[in-house]
Amino acid sequence: MAGGLATDGRMEPAIDALGPAQIITLFRIISERMMAARDELGMLDGVIGDADHGSSMAAGFSAVLRAVSQADGPPGEIFTSAAHEFLGAVGATTGPLYASALLRAAKLCGDSPQITVADFPLLIPAFAEGITERGKARPGDKTMMDAWAPAARAVLSARERGEDPLSQMRAALEAAREGAASTRAMVASRGRAARLGERSLGHTDPGAVSAVILIEAMHDLLARGLA
């Protein structure tokens, strides 16, 4: 659906809120992209972990998509269902971390039938808060937080500057990509990679890379809606 022309000559966005259909589409995009990246993430994890990150993320979001594909409840309810499904499908550390992130997203949405375009970028700080609260990792530990934390800061900074939602998401994506790339120069201090010590240098953290995939999916969903 194309946007209309505002009275001042600017293009108005095609939508001003995202409902159940758009949230389901978000999970479909994430699931497809995690499946496509499964082998790459597995190879990255094979160097500093146990090589299962790709399969875990793909399985987790496939389970989420199956569970919510016919949902018609509000976004908060869908995110809550997604949290339980992801936790049920993915064990070890990643399951609880993303379950916490999804529950924090559900809390942000509340029981509203939609999440406004203006508030949609706040899902990124919500995800980051949930992951931090559960996992206690900090930027510099060589984990997914090296992507999520700078992405969250970028959203909040862009909001303070009065930037529009898509610009906020673009800033978050750029920050996440830079953060993930920076993990190559880090020594892991948390998670399985920590046991490698200095040998973890020179390798990109797979959790940070999968975080970028998630953030890029969120950015792309909003970009499509505002086109």
- What's the CATH code of the domain at 152? 1.25.40.340
Does any domain span residue 9? no
pLDDT band at residue 47 under the 50/70/90 scheme: confident
pTM: 0.89
Q: Residue 17's beta-bridge partner residues?
A: 116
For 73-100, the pLDDT digits (tens) are 999 999 999 999 999 999 778 999 999 9
Of 142, 166, 144, nearest to 154 (Cα)?
166
Does any domain span residue 114? yes
- CB atoms near residue 205 (< 10 Å): 30
Does any domain span residue 53? yes
Does any domain span residue 67? yes
Does any domain span residue 3? no
Number of separate domains in the chain: 1
Does any domain span residue 96? yes
Where b means 16+ CB within 10 Å and e means fewer, 52-65 reads: bbbbbbbbbbbbbb
DSSP H helical segments within the chain, as ranges? 20-36, 38-48, 53-68, 75-89, 94-109, 123-135, 145-160, 165-182, 206-226
For 188-226, the pLDDT digits (tens) are 655 555 554 454 555 789 999 999 999 999 999 999 987
Does any domain span residue 12? no
Does any domain span residue 139? yes
Structural domain including 158 reads 17-226
Q: Using the 8-state DSSP alphabet, how is residue 11 labeled?
A: B
